[in-house]
Amino acid sequence: MFSKTIAQLAIGLNKGEFSSCEITQSYLDRISAQDGKYNSYITVTPEQAMAQAKAADAVISAGNASIMTGIPIAHKDIFCTKGTRTSAGSKMLDNFIAPYDATLIEKFNAVNSVSLGKTNMDEFAMGSSNENSYYGAVTNPWGENRVPGGSSGGSAAAVAAQLAPAATGTDTGGSIRQPCALTNLSGIKPTYGRVSRFGMIAFASSLDQAGPIAKTAEDAAILLNVMAGFDHKDSTSADKPVSDYCASLNQPLAGLKIGLPKEFFSEDLNPQVAAQIQAAVKEYQSLGAQIKEISLPNTALSIPAYYIIAPAEASSNLSRFDGVRYGYRCESPVDLEDMYKRSRGEGFGSEVKRRILVGTYALSEGFYDAYYKKAQQIRRLIQQDYIKALKEVDVIMGPTTPQPAFKIGEKTSDPVEMYMEDIYTLSLNLAGLPGMSIPCGMVDGLPVGLQIIGNYFAEERLLNVAHMFQQATDWHKNTAPGL
Amino acid sequence: MALDRQDVEKIAHLARININQEDINEYLGNLTSILDLVDQMQRVDTQNIEPLSHPLDAIQRLRADNITESNQREQLQQVAPAVEEGLFLVPKVID
């Protein structure tokens, strides 16, 4: 049962082969038996899960079920869940019981989906390895000393270890796609504004976007159907009609124009990973796609631009953590300034502090033009590269990451080395475009992710392109050793 | 632009983050290498390029000024570190 996709579980629930209570209990038992190895959950919520499962079973019996009714999933601990701790992986919010639900959580509740609990993550979503969590590192089920990627590393590890059929994540610079690539999963970062950010703890507000992490592109489409949509509570929510993301999954790919940016195949890319990407492109050719080499000349600049814009927005967003209204407060502050400084100094971890300091510096008097404005101008250049390329091709493909999962501790000593991990994913967030990662091969027993990038609001097409690949290949069916 | 220990202390003060004296050198090293990385941007000519702050160049949406939320002060203050009679308590500011 643990290998079943959401689509398969929904059929079983509908036919009465099993109840939501049964599958929910099985997953809860499996989490308590096995998650010690992975540390993929921060908080498991068995009582709420069973109450939701019971309610879902009643909805199913009454004949009112939709496809997600009674399906248990896990949520990244960045989404506020009323009455449950929502920590964002930080000591700062270790004691924070969210007083309201994020819009995304409300939407899953509205279709009677079941929440198993909250997954581990890099603190405030800042990281590419899930080693920056106050609750400890997460282990990749594909190798016990390997990182699962970040920042949605707990969500990815939970699904890859079959401790949840699917999970939610967020992606500010690759935090859905990179963990999916490293754990053999399918995930999509939608167009900026497609999924509401209300109740999602903010990191970099002009880049943050929520999306699903699943076993297949079809499951990702099912989840996105629940998540997507306009929300008046989010001022940057896109007021555009939502497609049925499952409607054209099976559309043939004949005539699809795929662009391969030469900058994504430079010497930084592991040659074995490159070979797997090329093999996937060949598979697409056999499905009728045409290949064209394109150029995204400003790709390398996405790292410096991102590592100004994201920290600058983070330094502003995280100023709300002041020890007054919620979150951690230091012991016996002598005055207000001491309270602010020690609460923040003790409550934030080192990567979060680094980024706040970089952002504060970039926004400080005299440096704004040289850093923040310059980064925003480069952001425009990066967007223009994509707009030009997407006039010539339907989708852009390349690797999600330069290499497969690296070892825990391998990149922690040098933050800049860790930042280079994001070279292929950052530019998408800067441009606000949607992108996916799907499994496309193995290197030394570790999964490789194929990144698929599309035009604004082209999620339906991306999911179709991903699904057709999964109809023709079996890479996505590989499970971690020992499962 | 080379930073020194005093710069790190000044930035930390602006950010209202306490940093232990023994950690300043590590932060100095980290910030220096991050700023070296982002200095690549300075090589690019961006004259006359409009800065991009929102990927879809959206404008701020407005709504009618109606009351849509009920008062949830007690509930919202349950997560506060120190509260008394509906007020957030902080260390004394004025003697």
pLDDT digits over A173-188, tens only?
A: 999 999 999 999 999 9
B43 within some domain: no
Location of structure tokens 């006359």: B48
B21 within some domain: yes
CA closest to B73 among chain A residues: A99
What are phi and psi for residue A460, nearest 5 degrees? -60, -40
The verdict on B92 touching A (C-beta cutoff 8 Å) is yes
Q: Taken in order B83, B88, B91, B94, is the CA torsion positive or negative?
A: negative
d(CA A354, CA A152): 20
* Peptide bond just before A151 cis, omega within 30 deg: yes
Strand B87-88 relative to strand B83-84, pairing: antiparallel
The verdict on A275 touching B (C-beta cutoff 8 Å) is no
Q: How far is CA B66 from CA A179, A197, B69, B70, in A?
A: 42, 22, 9, 12
Asked if A357 lies within 8 A of B8 by C-beta distance, the reply is yes
Asked if B31 lies within 8 A of A308 by C-beta distance, the reply is no
User: Which stretches in chain B have pLDDT values below 70?
Assistant: 1
Asked if A324 lies within 8 A of B90 by C-beta distance, the reply is yes
In this predicted model, what pLDDT tens digit does every residue of A114-127 receive, in sequence order? 999 999 999 999 99
Asked if A96 lies within 8 A of B33 by C-beta distance, the reply is no
Residue B21 sits in which domain range? 5-37
- The pLDDT score that the predictor gives to residue B93 is 83
Q: Which residues of A touch B6 (CB under 8 A)?
A: none
Asked if B30 lies within 8 A of A430 by C-beta distance, the reply is no
Element housing A52 (H / E): helix A46-61
- The pLDDT score that the predictor gives to residue B1 is 59
Residues 20-59 of B with CB under 8 A from A: 20, 27, 30-31, 33-42, 44, 46, 49-56, 58
User: Is residue A298 packed enough to be buried (19+ CB in 10 Å), middle (13-18) or exposed (0-12)?
Assistant: buried
Q: Which of A201, A387, A211 is nearest to B56 (CA)?
A: A387
- The pLDDT score that the predictor gives to residue A417 is 87
pLDDT block averages, 10 residues each, chain A of length 483? 97 97 98 98 98 98 97 98 98 97 98 98 97 98 96 98 98 98 98 98 97 98 98 94 96 98 94 98 98 97 97 98 97 96 98 97 93 97 98 98 96 89 96 98 98 98 98 98 91
Please give, rounded to a whole number of angstroms, the shortest distance from the CA of B47 to a CA of chain A: 9
B44 within some domain: no
Active site residue A151: yes
Q: Which residues of B touch A356 (CB under 8 A)?
A: 15, 17
Amino acid, single-letter form, for residue A313: E
Please give, rounded to a whole number of angstroms, the shortest distance from the CA of A80 to a CA of chain B: 13
Active site residue A353: no
ipTM of the complex, rounded to two decimals: 0.95
In this predicted model, what pLDDT tens digit does every residue of A204-230 receive, in sequence order? 999 999 999 999 999 999 999 999 999
d(CA A139, CA A350): 20
Asked if A414 lies within 8 A of B93 by C-beta distance, the reply is no
Asked if B16 lies within 8 A of A344 by C-beta distance, the reply is yes
Domain ranges of chain A: 1-483
- The pLDDT score that the predictor gives to residue A17 is 97
Number of compact structural domains in chain B: 1
- The pLDDT score that the predictor gives to residue B95 is 74
Cβ–Cβ < 8 Å for A408, A137: yes
A431's tokens: 């441009």
Class of CATH domain A1-483: alpha beta
Of B33, B44, B60, the CB nearest to A235: B60
Residues 315-334 of A with CB under 8 A from B: 315, 319, 322-329, 333-334
B27 within some domain: yes
A275's tokens: 């070979």
